[in-house]
Structure 1
């Protein structure tokens, strides 16, 4: 797929830390319960750490106790791209940023969480940047 934000690999390596690059550009996964946003309850907007595109909002974040931030719906259905992932001997649905193609995590359905969509977008904290909103 062609992305609105398309940079050569060398530029991504310069702009991202080695761990950000491993997760965002090589579809890696951060260790469970280590990400900065796993337990965050701050009100705000979660954007792609690689390109800044808005992805999720705090009002759709919920506690799934899975070790990664979980959301039940993206901010906009066109904000993310869903791709079949058959790696690691299983079939999953990978979630990527629709603006730059960076790996965010995976989405799961039918797990029984009491959310409006019955979906769990299991997203790596390192793929996100939270911008708090001020109540006013």
Structure 2
């Protein structure tokens, strides 16, 4: 293969990658505290914006078993597929995997020992914590606040 043909194929490949990246890309959502308060209920604000936690067993999503997706209640970004939801026995909606690129993590030391906290990648809304005691195939438990999610059933 000559250099010119190789460069043409390389550029076509890079254009294809850029197009594929746009399918996964989304704009960040940044709102003022007042705008968030208008958009969310007081309980949702406490969880999504202040890092709060709802009581165990209080979420109606614990009993949700239909096919669909779980979206961030702050910005409507799909975070989890119902195919990854399972009963963890913790009282919070739990998932063994998430949709790639939709969550960001950071260390949380609020309870003295370190935990991995995760947030919506679009709006930064606090969702919950991830633990290494989940089922196969990942071994992870993405333990989510139900008020931080909305469920969108499969059409």
On whether the aligned pair clears a TM of 0.5, the verdict is: yes
Measured on the aligned residues, the alpha-carbon RMSD in Å equals 1.1
Structure 1: give runs of 5+ residues left out of the alignment: none
Q: 1:31-77 CA distances to partner (integer Å, 9 max, x unpaired)? A: 0000011132111010000000110000000111111000011122x
Show the counterpart of 1:80. Answer: 103
Larger radius of gyration: 2
| SS in structure 1 of the partner of residue 60 of structure 2 | coil
Structure 2: give runs of 5+ residues left out of the alignment: 1-26
Give, in angstroms, the shift of residue 115 of structure 1: 2.1
Which of the two has greater helix per residue? 2
Structure 2 counterparts to residues 1-136 of structure 1, below 5 A: 4-76=28-100, 78-109=101-132, 111=133, 113-134=134-155
Kindly indicate whether structure 1 or structure 2 has the higher relative contact order, using CA contacts under 8 Å at least 6 residues apart: 1
Which of the two has greater strand per residue? 1
Query: How high is the TM-score relative to the length of structure 2?
Result: 0.80
Query: How high is the TM-score relative to the length of structure 1?
Result: 0.91
Q: For 2:136 and 2:73, locate their aligned partners in 1 and report how far apart those are by CA, in whole Å.
A: 26
> Would you say the 8 A contact 1:44–1:132 is kept in 2?
yes
Q: Across the two proteins, how many residue pairs are aligned to each other?
A: 129
4+ residue runs of structure 1 moved beyond 3 angstroms?
A: none
